[in-house]
Amino acid sequence: MPETLNGTIQGMVEKVVHGGDGLIRHEGQTIFIPNTAAGDSITYQVTDKKRGVLRGKLVEVITPAKGRVSPPCPVALDCGGCALQAMHTQNQADLKTSWVVDAFQMFITETTKVIPIQPQTKKHAGRRRVRWFMDKGKLGFRQRFSHDIVHTETCIAITQNLDALRNTLETMNLPESIQSIQAVELSNGTHIILESEQDVATDFTPPVQAKQQWWWRKLNTPSIKALHKPIQSLFDQIQLPSKQNNQKIGIEIGANDFVQGHAAGNQSLVSQILAWSQSSQRIVDLFSGCGNLSLPLAATGKQVVGAELNPASIKAANNNAKRLQVDATYQVQDLFDSFSYEPFIGADTLILDPPRKGAKRICQNINKLFPKQIIMVNCDVAAGARDAKALADAGFKLKALRPLDLFPYTGHVEVLSLWQP
């Protein structure tokens, strides 16, 4: 730890690394400072060491970098949830694109199509999933690396509807036992999940709203209980290609089902997969979740076989397929362990959408599946690059690479890549 731990140090931010922190070097040591931009001349304090890395906080910007802006959120420096708010939106888009290009550089050839991120144009970034923490009747977010709660009158990272919902929730007589609240906004309504250490809500009856489904969850458990019935079915509407007469399909999303955190970003993700799979007939979807990526393909007449570890997601995917009357079946498989490859051999398009740790086992055994092409979706750039090396070692070539900004203002970026032999 530098001797100047409690003092102020002056330095220059060399670059902003994946995750959103600025990197500064001081006396042979590297310090990460949030809310900075490459080229900023700043004063800062080293605060602590987290996960083996020295971290600090910004004290003053002496000379701002080109493209630095005042954070649009008044609590951006305290909250820490949106690490890139001090950068112009074009700079944010360019930076996130560069993170992905750098990570996949060894696989990019002169024939690889790279599709850069387009900058955020709206003030509200549009995140449709949120978790607030309750503190003295107010809802807020935890500071990074801390349990302290930061309150704000408005949050530009989420949708305007969710921002308005937070204000409404704070005016309600919610149980004192509530510790946090999750909300997921879908096309026809919002799941609202009250979280407490208690098993049930003994002192609260939620209002019955046409576009709200209220739930109760005991903390640290997966099960949830509906606070009013009949339970409303909430859907994520997905636009199909124009040749389908501008048809939309609704994928039912339960309160426990995974859905991408940005509706417009998810549509971009699905639309790109639809475009890359136009000539395919048989689709295999591994790590399928509730069918977000492959049910739209099935709705265009393709045959889909999918797999996922979570039984609840598989049940939701099959229920969605049945309701939509499409040729899609999903099964429970532990894709991180040994599983039967037979149902998934010979796909025209193999979709891989693993969690953060990636799909190492599958990628290392990809030639047992004999896919004609692979579309890989990675929420972790480093894991994606590692999996990409396994695909390249197996003889696949990177045909297209598209970073997607599903979490504007933050240091997170999604990676979509197309691979062919």
Question: What kind and span of H or E run contains 275?
Answer: helix 263-276
Architecture of domain 91-121+254-420: 3-Layer(aba) Sandwich (3.40)
Could you give the maximum distance between any two Cα atoms of the chain, in Å?
Answer: 67
Cβ contacts of 288 within 8 Å, gap of 6 or more: 294, 306, 307, 308, 313, 314, 317, 330, 351, 353
Q: What's the pTM?
A: 0.93
Q: Where are the domains of the chain?
A: 9-68, 91-121+254-420, 129-186+189-226
Using a 10 angstrom Cβ sphere, with 0-12 exposed, 13-18 middle and 19 or more buried, the burial of residue 161 is middle
Residue 356, φ and ψ in degrees, nearest 5: -55, -35
| pLDDT < 70 stretches in the chain | 1-6, 202, 243-246
- Token output for 168: 């409404």
Dihedral (CA of 305, 310, 315, 321) sign: negative
d(CA 34, CA 23): 9
DSSP state of 64: P
Give residue-wise pLDDT tens across range 199-210.
877 678 888 888
pLDDT of residue 122: 83
Query: Over pLDDT 70: what percentage of the chain?
Result: 97
pLDDT of residue 416: 98
Does the domain spanning 9-68 belong to CATH 2.40.50.140?
yes
pLDDT of residue 198: 87
Instruction: Single out the catalytic residue among 73, 79, 155, 379.
Output: 379
To the query of whether residue 155 is one of the catalytic residues in this protein, the response is: no
Using a 10 angstrom Cβ sphere, with 0-12 exposed, 13-18 middle and 19 or more buried, the burial of residue 56 is buried
Question: What kind and span of H or E run contains 412?
Answer: none
